[in-house]
Amino acid sequence: MLDYTAMDFETANSYRGSPCAVGLVRVRDGEVVDQVRWLMRPPADVDHFDPFNVSIHGITADMVRDEPRWSEMLPRIVDYVGDDVVVAHNARFDVGVIRHACSIDGIASPTVRFLCTLVMARRALSLPSYSLPFVVEALGIRSENHHDPLADATAVAGIVRKLAERASETNLAGLANSLHVAIGWLREGTYGGSASLEHRPGLIHPGVNRDADPDSHLYGRVVVFTGALTSMTRQSAWEECARAGAIPQANTTKRTNVLVVGDVDPAYLRPGATITGKTRKVFELQARGQDIEIMTEDEFLQCLADKPLDPEAANGNGIRGHSD
């Protein structure tokens, strides 16, 4: 059965964990049976509204002034979704909103299974762009008010219906399998993406920019990545490292100086947590006296932007989120 909940978040500012609105659409057997659009106040530490974000979705601080905070709204969202798989367009962004909002509030992330229509559209269609407006137009779906969370969540439901019809699939798992796309998961702070299951060519090692700023935090350091990044592909991360004068590396060795952890919520990066093998090896090398820094994805992005790693100095982390 095509049973799931479509989801779309909008954020108040450039920090991914600043949700100010969510649209949720409940689908049963391929048909919309219920829908909600909820406004909310972002976590208190990141509750400012950037003019850029407001210009996109039209939601202002005044509009959410009397709405619940994220920490109060999260149980309502979890209750609405229930045991459904969540479907979103660019699910890395929407699941990232949940992860980062929970992290900055110091609360546990919920367990979520999710599927990405952006990834599925890339597997099923040939388009100049796979942003939501291009996909809905290509599939003949009527959609208005892009960046209204309920309108976008409704569009996601339309994409699933059209892709299922094209693939002659009658259930969500079958649709995902037919397109060779994995159903992702978020649990206990760890993350597995909704990504293509097909083999991809190995990473291409970029040439290091020797003219990069030698005072950069990453300059001359050997950087390894572990887990799924939400802001860019692994290849793009390697290229950004090289641009900053750092040396990207596939595996943790005695040369490694920085490990960027992409699949663990910062709130769970503590002793005793479930961690990847690369992270575990770094802890072992640290214990032997090797100088290695463990960095979250947001901290890595701050370094690329040449911003301080002190959260207060970084003005609410200062990381630009993105949504399609």
**For the chain, what are the domain ranges?**
4-192, 222-304
CA distance linking residue 71 with residue 47, whole number of Å? 13
Architecture of the domain whose range is 4-192: 2-Layer Sandwich (3.30)
Is the confidence at residue 34, as pLDDT, over 70?
yes
Overall pTM surpassing 0.85 (yes/no) = no
pLDDT above 70 covers a percentage of the chain that reads 88
Rg (CA), the chain: 20
Average pLDDT of span 13-30: 96
Q: Which residue has the higher pLDDT, 152 or 277?
A: 152
**pLDDT, tens only, 105-131:** 999 999 999 999 999 998 999 887 888
The count of other CB atoms within 10 Å of the CB of residue 205 is 13
CA 100 to chain centre: 9
Tokens 């990504």, residue located: 195
Q: Give the pLDDT confidence score for residue 128 in this predicted structure.
A: 76
Q: Crossing angle for the helix pair 117-124 and 149-167, nearest 10 degrees?
A: 40
Greatest Cα pair distance, the chain, in angstroms, is 60
| pLDDT at position 200 over 60 | no
**CATH class assigned to 222-304:** alpha beta
184-187/112-116 β-pairing: antiparallel
Q: What average pLDDT score do residues 269-293 get?
A: 70
Name the strand (E) or helix (H) holding 42: none
pLDDT band at 95 (very low <50, low <70, confident <90, very high): very high
Q: From residue 38, how far is each of 9, 21, 22, 73, 80 by CA, in Å?
A: 10, 6, 5, 9, 12
3-state DSSP helix/strand/coil % of the chain, to nearest 5: 35, 20, 45
**Residue 75 has which token pair?**
């149980």
Tell me the pLDDT tens digit for each residue of 167-194.
999 999 999 999 999 999 998 767 788 8
Identify the residue with better confidence: 271 or 215. 215
* Model confidence at 289: pLDDT above 90: no
Q: What is the structure's pLDDT at 276? A: 63
